[in-house]
Amino acid sequence: MHDAPALIDRHGRTIRYLRVSVTDRCDLRCRYCMAEKMSFLPRSELLALEEIALIAERFIARGVTKIRLTGGEPLVRRDAMDLVRRLGRHVGAQGKNGGLNELTLTTNGTRLTEYAGALADAGVRRINVSLDSRDPELFRHITRHGDVAQVLEGIDAAQAAGLTVKINMVALKGLNDAEIAPMLEWAGANGMDLTLIETMPLGSIDEDRADRFVPLTQVFDDLSSRFTLSRDAHQSGGPARYWRVAETGGRLGLISPLTGNFCDTCNRVRLTTEGKLFTCLGHEDQVDLKAAIRAGGLDAVDAAIDEALAAKPARHDFNVERGAAPAVGRHMSVTGG
């Protein structure tokens, strides 16, 4: 690797965080994320894991200090652990090519029983587990066929392997909103933080998102009447704002792209499994790093990254009003959750 300028977009924001979608496939079909009958990318169109690693290492050389592997469900891709182990070697590394402060993973938890130990051995220290309900029937309804016991066993395995687990929960009106306070208590009692997320208008699904949208301002007011919440300075590298929960000792995080826009501090870009680099989750602007690396190697990758940063928008424009079209046509699983 050779020297290259730092990653600074046209609005003066420094990019330190790369999110990589290892696959758009998932073994669940969450209603707010996917249509029931999804068309996934042909495997021939995906970046090879070696290409993902080379591109990620180029970002590290240019100043990225945190990488999150996502999907779909990243652990459904065959040999995904080879990528985890390779990138894990950069955690804590020093030198002119830089290093990572953190390599982490967002997962639905269904395969953690199998992979938790290997993740810890590879240098992963913290993971996010998407869990929208602990009620077996409601979990099966939201995911269309999932078994929550499998996820809970995976969380136990992750903690036993020494991984710090944070729970991500999408707030869904009329589905799991009554379970938010109990989830916060359960997470705290088991040594986990909870981050709540507003549903986002990405891709066409089988229902109107307006029917399920819960503003987190409303949720926070409700939780404040039940718990003693104080602002916490903790930063995880992403957009969440945190509060300490006195009754549990844990943290509550809020990711509120609609009611509390956080774009002025955006430090993230996203690499899709087919090699597209998106600089904003809510816009279609992208550059093709797969074409770049195959045609011109890392020099071409650098040029494409610079092109993308020069066009990075100031903010997203999400709208979940009834009947509104999705902000973008692609599903969250394509860009990386």
Was 200 annotated as part of a binding site?
A: yes
Was 269 annotated as part of a binding site?
A: yes
Determine the pLDDT at residue 326: 46
How far is Cα 147 from Cα 134, in angstroms, rounded to an integer? 10
Was 78 annotated as part of a binding site?
A: no
252 forms beta bridges with 194, 243
Nearest Cα to Cα of residue 75 among 136, 127, 142? 127
Determine the pLDDT at residue 191: 97
Q: What share of the chain is helix, strand, coil (3-state, %, to 5)?
A: 35, 20, 45
Per DSSP, helices labelled H in the chain are 49-61, 80-88, 112-121, 136-143, 148-160, 180-189, 216-224, 289-310, 332-335
Determine the pLDDT at residue 37: 81
Burial (Cβ within 10 Å: 0-12, 13-18, ≥19) of residue 46: buried
Was 30 annotated as part of a binding site?
A: yes
Was 332 annotated as part of a binding site?
A: no
Was 224 annotated as part of a binding site?
A: no
Determine the pLDDT at residue 169: 96
Q: How confident is the model at residue 254 (pLDDT cuts 50, 70, 90)?
A: very high
Was 34 annotated as part of a binding site?
A: no
Q: How confident is the model at residue 244 (pLDDT cuts 50, 70, 90)?
A: very high
Was 44 annotated as part of a binding site?
A: no
Q: Which of 45-54, 135-144, 196-205, 249-258 has the lowest mean pLDDT?
A: 196-205
Q: What is the pTM of this model?
A: 0.89
Was 33 annotated as part of a binding site?
A: yes
pLDDT above 70 coverage of the chain, percent: 85
Mean pLDDT of 38-43: 86
Mean pLDDT of 206-232: 86
Domain architecture of the chain: domains with CATH: 17-335 (3.20.20.70)
Q: Which residue has the higher pLDDT, 210 or 245?
A: 245
Determine the pLDDT at residue 280: 82
Was 219 annotated as part of a binding site?
A: no
Q: How confident is the model at residue 39 (pLDDT cuts 50, 70, 90)?
A: confident
Was 266 annotated as part of a binding site?
A: yes
For the chain, where are the E strands, in sequence order? 17-21, 66-70, 102-107, 126-130, 164-171, 193-198, 229-232, 241-245, 251-255, 268-271, 276-278, 286-288
Was 12 annotated as part of a binding site?
A: no
